[in-house]
């Protein structure tokens, strides 16, 4: 804890997607360590509320509206931060969305939406922060990817594509950036208990899951708490780790995929086939229940009204 405090005290950190989920947890813990935190999010009111809570707890935080797809706005934000604080220690490039469901159900807009936020948004952040960090000869860019960027992820094809790209971007940039004393890390969480499970605030489920099955699925996946992931991430960032995977059980699957990609694909395919069978069964049950309910409603509507029958007798 003491080392954490020394590392982050008075550091200037920008956190995109900082109004909810992992971003909010990172902002909270950075503020608790004494950092100056800029919470950047499309959800401005929610970002303001989070910043107010952190300030009331003794932290230093401000909220700004930012759509990471807007490169000019991203650049202007970091210029403002540099002008106000004279430095930029950390950029947590964290904003993301997910469109979940089989790729056969995507529209072209679904691909573009996910690519624009998860990949172009990361590139916009790097483009805005990296030259400034080179000029000041220090800084750390922390890009949020996912375990879906390290292993095959059927049902999340567009999301997985962007996260694989973010891992490749981060690893490659890390090799270049070392010459300028700039650090780059990539965070690859497993499933977290955040809105991203349902697509995030701006994503969507292209293949809705019946609520009862969704509850069972999330329980089986055992999503971790965002606060625990944020704590682990900040410890690893302090140690300048290249790839940060949390929780540990997801590292095992990553290691399996690295040891034998074909075995990793086989395991992911089998898991997804099991999921599809369960989904089809759940949808059939839901359709049967709907049909039964519709039949009962129709029968009730067709039945004679007892009051009217009594009136006829009179």
Using CA atoms, how far apart are residues 227 and 198, in angstroms rounded to an integer?
Answer: 19
Which pLDDT tens digit goes with each residue over 141-197? Answer: 999 999 999 999 898 999 999 999 999 999 999 999 999 999 999 999 998 876 655
What is the Cα Rg of the chain in Å? Answer: 24
Which tens digits make up the pLDDT trace of 24-79? 999 999 999 999 999 999 999 999 999 999 999 999 999 999 999 999 999 999 99
> What is the C-alpha to C-alpha distance for residues 208 and 175, in angstroms, rounded to an integer?
41
Cα–Cα distance, 14 to 62 (Å, whole number): 10
User: What's residue 299's pLDDT?
Assistant: 55
In angstroms, the CA 53 to CA 11 distance is 19
Backbone angles phi, psi at 258, to 5 degrees: -70, -40
Output 211 or 250, whichever has higher pLDDT.
250
Runs of H (alpha helix) within 104-156: 108-115, 121-136
In the set 90, 130, 159, 246, the catalytic residue is 159
Residue owning tokens 């008075």: 10
Please report, in angstroms and rounded to a whole number, the separation of the first and last CA atoms in the chain.
Answer: 86
Least trusted range by pLDDT, from 52-56, 103-107, 112-116? 103-107
285-303 pLDDT, tens digit per residue, is 666 666 666 555 555 555 5
| 3-state secondary structure (DSSP) of residue 101 | coil
For the chain, the average pLDDT equals 87
List, in order of start, the domains of the chain with CATH numbers.
Answer: 2-259 (3.40.50.720)
Known catalytic membership, residue 159: yes
């Amino acid at each position: 804890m003491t080392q954490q405090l020394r590392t982050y005290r008075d550091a200037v950190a920008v956190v995109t997607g900082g109004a909810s989920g992992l971003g909010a947890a990172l902002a909270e813990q950075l503020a608790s360590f004494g950092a100056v935190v800029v919470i950047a999010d499309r959800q401005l009111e929610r970002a303001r509320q989070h910043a107010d809570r952190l300030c009331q707890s003794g932290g230093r935080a401000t909220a700004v509206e930012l759509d990471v797809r807007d490169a000019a706005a991203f650049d202007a934000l970091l210029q403002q931060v540099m002008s106000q604080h004279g430095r930029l220690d950390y950029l947590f490039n964290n904003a993301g969305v997910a469109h979940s469901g089989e790729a056969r159900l995507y529209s072209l807009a679904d691909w573009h939406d996910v690519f624009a936020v998860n990949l172009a948004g990361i590139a916009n952040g790097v483009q805005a922060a990296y030259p400034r960090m080179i000029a000041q000869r220090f800084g750390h860019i922390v890009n949020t990817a996912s375990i879906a960027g390290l292993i095959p992820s059927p049902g999340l094809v567009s999301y997985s594509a962007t996260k694989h790209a973010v891992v490749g971007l981060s690893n490659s940039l890390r090799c270049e950036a070392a010459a300028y004393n700039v650090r780059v890390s990539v965070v690859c969480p497993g499933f977290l208990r955040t809105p991203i499970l349902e697509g995030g605030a701006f994503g969507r489920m292209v293949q809705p899951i019946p609520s009862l099955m969704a509850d069972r699925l999330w329980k089986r996946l055992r999503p971790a708490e965002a606060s625990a992931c944020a704590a682990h991430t900040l410890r690893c960032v302090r140690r300048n780790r290249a790839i940060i995977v949390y929780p540990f059980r997801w590292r095992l699957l990553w290691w399996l995929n690295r040891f034998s990609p074909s075995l990793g694909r086989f395991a992911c395919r089998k898991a997804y086939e099991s999921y599809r069978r369960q989904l089809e069964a759940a949808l059939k049950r839901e359709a049967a229940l709907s049909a039964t309910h519709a039949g009962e409603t129709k029968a009730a509507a067709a039945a004679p009204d007892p009051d009217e029958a009594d009136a006829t007798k009179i």
